[in-house]
Amino acid sequence: MNKTLHKIYIGSFFLVGITVLVLLGINGYSYYTIPIEERFFHSSHQSLKPSGIWGHGFGIIGTLMMIFGVSIYMIRKRSRRFFTFGYLKHWLEFHIFLCTVGPILVLYHTSFKFGGIVSVSFWSMVLVVLSGIIGRFIYIQIPRTIQGKELDVQELNSMRQQMSHNLYIDSTMSLKFTKDYERFSSLERYANLGIIKSLVVIIADYFRIKILVYKINKQLKESGVSAYRIKEILRTVKTEIVLTRRIGLLKTMQKLFRYWHIAHLPFAIAMFVIMIIHVAVTVIFGYKWIF
Distance CA 165, CA 185 (A): 13
pLDDT for the residue 154: 63
Phi, psi of 150 (to 5 degrees): -65, 140
Residue type, 81: R
Mean pLDDT of the chain: 79
Residues of the chain with pLDDT under 70: 1-2, 116, 143-182, 290-291
Residue type, 264: H
Distance CA 11, CA 53 (A): 30
pLDDT for the residue 146: 46
Residue type, 268: A
**Helix, strand, or coil here: 185?**
coil
Could you tell me if 30 and 42 are in contact, meaning their C-beta atoms sit under 8 angstroms apart?
A: yes
- Write the pLDDT tens digit of every residue in 244-262: 777 777 777 878 888 887 8
pLDDT for the residue 1: 66
pLDDT for the residue 61: 92
The domain ranges of the chain are 3-148+254-284, 153-248
CA nearest to 87, candidates 185, 188, 3? 3
Going by the DSSP 8-state scheme, the letter that residue 81 receives in this structure is: G
Q: Which long-range contacts (CB under 8 A, 24 or more apart) does 35-44 make?
A: 36/113, 39/111
Regarding pTM above 0.75, the answer is no
CA nearest to 107, candidates 20, 38, 42? 20
Distance CA 66, CA 115 (A): 21
Residue type, 29: Y
